[in-house]
A and B are shown apart, each in its own frame.
Chain A
Amino acid sequence: MEQLKTIGRELAMGSQGGFYQSKEFLDLVKSIGEARSKAEEDRIVLGEIETLKRRVSEPDIPKRKMKEYILRLVYVEMLGHDASFGYIHAVKMTHDDSLLVKRTGYLAVTLFLNEDHDLIILIVNTIQKDLKSDNYLVVCAALNAVCKLINEETIPAVLPQVVDLLAHPKEAVRKKAIMALHRFYQKSPSSVSHLVSNFRKRLCDNDPGVMGATLCPLFELVSTDVNSYKDLVISFVSILKQVAERRLPKAYDYHQMPAPFIQIKLLKILALLGSGDKQASENMYTVVGDIFRKCDSSSNIGNAVLYECICCVSSIYPNPKLLESAADAISRFLKSDSHNLKYMGIDALGRLIKISPEIAEQHQLAVIDCLEDPDDTLKRKTFELLYKMTKSTNVEVIVDRMIDYMISINDNHYKTEIASRCVELAEQFAPSNQWFILIMNKVFEHAGDLVNIKVAHNLMRLIAEGFGEDDDSADSQLRSSAVDSYLHILGEPKIPSVFLQLICWVLGEYGTADGKYSASYITGKLSDVAEAYSNDETVKAYAVTALMKIYAFEIAAGRKVDMLPECQSLMEQFLASHSTDLQQRAYELQAVIGLDAHAVESIMPSDASCEDIEVDKALSFLNGYIQDSIEKGAQPYIPESERSGMLNISNFRNQDHHGASSHGLKFEAYELPKQTVQSRIPPATLASTEFVPVPEPMSVRESYPTTIVPSASSDAESTELKLRLDGVQKKWGRQTHSPATSTSSSTSKKTVNGIKQVDGSNTSNSSTWETYDSRKHVEINSEKQKLAASLFGGSSKTEKKPATGHKISKPSSHMVEKSHVRKSSMEIASEKKALVHQPPDLLDFGEPTVQSSDPPSVDPFKELEGLLEPTTQLGSTAAAATNSPDIMGLFTETPGGTHNKDDSDILSSLSKQPVTNMVGGATSTQVAQSSKGPNRKDSLEKDSLVRQMGVTPSSPNPNLFKDLLG
C-alpha cells in the first residue's frame, strides 16, 4: 500500500513528465532564494555540497535518489561551486538502462565535462552503444552528448554510427545527426571532409526541420569556400521561394510569417553566394524582391527578415530596384520608435552606404538622433557607422565626437577601441599636422595607457620626419607647436606614461630647437617630470636621455652648460640607481657633458633622429681583430649551427623546439657530451641577431638595433629606431580623398567670382550663396542640423571664418601636402567670399555659422600663424644629423644586468679595440666613439650575453662602469 502511494505520487508528479524533484531540492532552492547575501548563499550551498558528498558515496543508493543528487549537483555548479566530486557518478548514470536516469546522466556530463576531460574515455563506449539503440530518444540523448563531449581524437570512434543515423527514419534523429556532423566539421574539418556531401543530400530531406538544420552547416561551408557551392544557388533560391510562398507546414509559421528563421538562414547563404557574382545574383533578384514586398514590417520577426534582405542586397551584385527597396526599409527602421529597429537601421545603413553613399544624406538627422540617444548600444553602433563614412570633409567633426564620447565612458575595452579608431581616422584624413597633434594629445591624455605604444612612436616619427616634403619651415612650425602644447600639458596632473615618454622625447629633440625656450627652462621641466613620476623607470630614462640631448645641443652650439641644481641632484640619484639602465644613462650624460663641442656634435647632432644608419651585420670591421687573435692562437669561431649544443641556451631551446614539434618520445640514446668548443669570440657577437626575448616588450624592439652598433652614424638603426612602424599602416600624409565625398559637391561645381580653386568640391558661387541665404529662415536652425551638415554635407558649406580658409585647402587632393604654403592666399580668398557648397536639400540649414561645432579646426592654424616667425630661423640649428639621440632613447628599456666573470673577460678584451671596429666611424666621429661607443656597445653586448646565458641580471656590476668611465 505504501508503495502504491509512492507510485501514485510519482504519477501525479508525472504530469511534470518525470522531471519532478524532491522536497529537499525545493527547500534548497527556496533557502537560496531567501538568502540575503552572497555569503549566506555560499554557506547554504557549501552545506549542501557536504550533504551531497556524503550521500553520493553511500552504498546502494536507489537510482531515483541518485538522479536527484546529480541534479542538485548540477544546480550547485551552476551557482559557481565546485561539484567535481560528483562527476564520476554522473558518468555512471549514463550507463543506466532507464531512459530517465540516462538522460539525467547525459545532461549532467554535458554540463560538467569538457571534451578533454579525463572521464570522457569512460563515456565514449556508452555513447557508441546508445547511438545504436532502438529507442530513438536514447539516440537523441547520445547525440546531444556527442556534440559536447567528442573531441578530435574520439571522432573516429563514433563517426560511423553518426553517419548511419543520417538516414534514420525519425526526423528528430536525422536533424541531430546532421548537427553532430557539423560539430565534427567545426572541430576537425579533415576528419569529416569526405562526408561533406551528406549535407548537400540532406538539403533535399522531406522534413523541413531537417532541411532547416542542414542550412547551418551549409552556411559555414559556403562561408569558407564559396566557389564550390555556386551550383546550389538555384536550389537555395527555389527553397526560399517555396518558403516565401507558404509551402511549408503551418507549424513553421511564426507570427504569420512563413518559417522566418529558415528564410533568414537562406538569405544569409545567398548573400555569401551572390557576393561579387553577377550571374548568381541575377537568380536571386526576383525572390529577394518578393520577400521585400511580402514582409510584414509590423512584427519583430518580419523586420528581422527585412534586415536580412537588406544585408543580402548590399552584399550581392547591386540591383537598383532592390537597393531602392532596401533604402525604403532602412528609412522605416530609422523612423521607428523602437530602439531595436533603429539599431538595425543604423547597422543596415552602414552596409548600404558602401554601395550607394548618397543614401546617408536622407537620414542624417535620424543618425544624429541616434548619436545623442541615451542608449549606449545604439550610440556605439552609430559611431561605427560614422567611422565607416568618415572622409576628409567630416573627419574633424567625427573625431571630435568620438573623443568626447571616449572621455565620457569608463569601459576600458571600448575606450581602447574608440581611441584606436580616432588615431586611425586622424592618420588617414587629418587636414593638418597641427590638428593631428592636437587630436593625438587628446587621445593620449585620456586613453594614454590604453593605446598601442606604436601610436606614440608613430607620432614621434611624424614630428621628427615632418610632413612637408620640401618645406622645412612647416616642419619646424609643427615641432614648435608640439613643444608648446607639451609644455602646456606638463602642467596637468597624472599624465599617462606613454604620453610622458613621448613628451620627453619631443622636448629632448626639439625643446630648444626654435630658440623660444632656454635650455635651462626645458631641462627644468624635464627634471620635474623625472621627479614627479619617480616610480616610472621608463619615463625617467626618457627624461635623462632628453636632458642629455639638450645639454649636447647646448655644448655643440658653443654655449656653456650650467646644470641646474635639481638636475644635478637627480643625476646623483640616478648614478646610484638600482636600475642599471638608468645608471648607464646617467653616466653617459656625465661623460657627454665633459666632452668638447666638436666631439659632442658628432655623437649628438641635433635633429638627427631620422637619419639612416647603416649596420654592418656581418661585423666585418672585426676581421682584423679576429685575424690577430687567431694568429695569437685563439680558437676560431664556430657558427652556432655547427656547434654541438654546449653551454648555449639558444641551442637547447632549438632542441626543445625540435622535440616538441616531432611529438613523439625520443628513442635513441642521448649522445655523449662532446668536448666543448669554447670560442674566444663568443656568442656575444652574435647577440644582436638572435636576441633572446626580454621581459618588457619595448626592450626587445628597441634594444635590438642598439646592440648592433651604438655608433653615432649607422643607418639601418634609424629605420629600426623610427619607432617600428612596420605593421602599422602608414596612412599619414596620404590624404585620401574619397570620390564619394563629392556627391554633393558635384551639384555646386560652377565656379564664379574668379576664385580659382583647384578643387571642384569646395568651389562655391554667389548664386548658391544667395539661395542659401534666401532660404535661411525656412528651416529650424538647430544644433543638430549643423552637426548633420558637417557630418554629411561636407564641412565647407560654411563661410568666412578663418576655418573655412583652412578647409578650402583641405579636400583638394592635389594640393595635399602644401596646404600650409597656400594657406595665406586661401585665407584671403575666403575672406572675400563665403564659400558654400552643398546639395539643395542641405541648403536648409539656417545659420551660416556651421563651423562653430569644431573649434580644433581653427586653433591649429592660429597657432601655426603665431609660430611662423620664431621658427624660420630654425634652419641654422638643424644641422647634421645622426641618430645618437635616439640610441639613447632606446636604452630606456634595456634592463641592465650583471654578467659572468668569464664573459666579461672576453668582452673586455673585445672592448680594447675601440674606434677601428666601428662601422661608420668617419674620422670626425672617431673621437667621440673612442670615448663612448665601444663602452656602450660593450655593456649591451654583455647584457645580451648574460641574457643568452640565462642569467638573470641582479645587482649592478661595477666592472661595467669601470669600462664606461675608462
Chain B
Amino acid sequence: MIKAVMVMNTQGKTRLAKFYEYLPVEKQQELIRGIFAVLCSRAENVSNFIDAESIFGPDSRLVYKHFATLYFVFVFDSSENELAVLDLIQVFVETLDKCFQNVCELDIVFNYSKVHTILDEMIFGGQVVETSSSEIMKAVEEISKSFLYPFLLCLSKKTC
C-alpha cells in the first residue's frame, strides 16, 4: 500500500502532499521536514531508495526521484516493489508532462487541484489503480470536459 505521496522542491517547500492514512497536520509537516532533511543530504548517483522506518515507522520504504527543481517522493510498505514504484513516479511525471506540456514546478503549484485529480486517478485509497498514463489522461480530460460543458452551453446561448 502507498502511504503517502509528496512533491517538494529543492528548497524544501512542499508542492503537494497527500497522505493515505490520516495524520494530523503537525505530524505531516514533521514527516515532510524529516524526509527533506534526508533527501538533501543524499549525494548524486546514489540509489533512489531510503529506509524510511526511522521517519515513518516500521515497514515503510521511501522512493524518490529528482526532476529539475522537484523531488517526487512516494512512501509505501513492503507490498510494493521499489523499482516498480520508481516507475510509478515516472508514470506520474509523464502524465503531468502530457497534461501541462513540459511540466515545471509552477504548473504543479498553480494547478494544484488538477494534480490532485491526476493522482486520484492513479492511486485510490492507497492502492495503485491505474498505471497507464494514457488511461489516466483520458479520465482527467473527461473530468475537465465536464467542467467546460456548462460554459459552452452558456456561451452558445449568449452568442445566439
* A contacts, CB < 8 Å to B: 3-4, 7-8, 10-11, 14, 16-19, 21, 25-26, 29, 32-33, 71, 74-75, 77-82, 98-100, 103-104, 107, 111, 114-115, 135, 137, 144, 147-148, 172, 175-176, 179-180, 182-183, 209, 212-213, 216, 219-220, 223, 251-252, 254-255, 259-262, 264, 268, 300-301, 303-304, 307-308, 338-340, 342-344, 374-378, 380-381, 411-414
Contacts and interface: CB of A to CB of B under 8 A. Distances in A.
A175 B113 contact: no
Given A80-B25, A179-B129, A209-B135, A254 B146 contact: no
A216 B43 contact: no
12 contacts: A14-B144, A16-B111, A17-B147, A17-B148, A21-B113, A100-B146, A144-B120, A144-B124, A148-B125, A213-B130, A254-B131, A339-B47
A239 to B, nearest CB: 16
Contacts of B26: 80
A339 to B, nearest CB: 4
Interface residues of B, number: 67
Interface in B13-70: 13-14, 16-18, 22, 25-26, 28-29, 42-43, 45-51, 53-54
Contacts of A111: 18
A29 B109 contact: yes
Contacts of A33: 13, 109
A7 B151 contact: yes
B125 A115 contact: no
B28 A7 contact: no
A4 B81 CA distance: 52
Q: Which residue, of A213, A252, A259, A377, has the highest number of chain B Cβ atoms within 10 A?
A: A377
A752 B83 CA distance: 51
A681 B134 CA distance: 81
B141 interface: yes
Given A17-B148, A377-B50, 12 more contacts: A80-B25, A104-B113, A147-B124, A209-B135, A254-B87, A261-B88, A268-B81, A304-B83, A339-B45, A343-B49, A375-B47, A413-B54
B124 A374 contact: no
Contacts of B79: 219-220, 223, 268
A458 B33 CA distance: 39
B82 A216 contact: no
B104 interface: no
Contacts of A18: 144, 147-148
A137 B146 contact: yes
B84 A304 contact: yes
Nearest to B19: A111
B53 to A, nearest CB: 7
B84 A261 contact: yes
Q: Which residue, of A14, A175, A223, A308, has the highest number of chain B Cβ atoms within 10 A?
A: A14
Interface in B133-153: 134-135, 139-148, 150-152
Contacts of B110: 21, 25-26, 29
A213 B128 CA distance: 7
A220 B79 CA distance: 9
Contacts of B130: 175, 209, 213
Contacts of A8: 155
Contacts of B111: 16, 19, 21
B116 interface: yes
A182 B147 contact: no
B81 A182 contact: no
Nearest to B84: A304
Interface string B83-121: 110111011000000000000000001111110110010
Q: Which 8 A-B pairs have the closest CB atoms?
A: A17-B144, A18-B147, A304-B83, A413-B54, A114-B22, A147-B125, A339-B47, A19-B114
B127 A252 contact: no
A179 B127 contact: yes
B116 A107 contact: yes
A340 B114 CA distance: 31
Given A29-B110, A209-B135, A377-B49, A260 B84 contact: yes
B18 A261 contact: no
A100 B147 CA distance: 6
Q: Which residue, of B125, B152, B155, has the highest number of chain A Cβ atoms within 10 A?
A: B125
B54 A11 contact: no
Contacts of B146: 99-100, 135, 137
Given A99-B147, A301-B83, A301-B87, A17 B140 contact: yes
Contact of B51 (A3, A4, A179, A380): A380
Given A29-B110, A100-B147, A179-B124, A78 B87 contact: no
B57 to A, nearest CB: 10
A119 to B, nearest CB: 13
A183 B141 CA distance: 27
A80 B29 contact: yes
A776 to B, nearest CB: 37
Nearest to A223: B79
A376 B14 CA distance: 25
B53 A183 contact: no
Contacts of B144: 14, 16-19
Contact of B135 (A74, A251, A340): A251
B83 A307 contact: yes
A182 B140 CA distance: 23
Q: Which residue, of A19, A33, A374, A413, has the highest number of chain B Cβ atoms within 10 A?
A: A19
A16 B38 CA distance: 35
B14 A78 contact: yes
A74 B117 CA distance: 14
Nearest to A10: B151
Given A80-B29, A304-B81, A342 B132 contact: no
Contacts of A342: 47
Contacts of A80: 14, 25-26, 28-29
B127 A340 contact: no
A695 B28 CA distance: 31
Contact of A300 (B83, B116, B117): B83
Contacts of A3: 158
A103 B128 contact: no
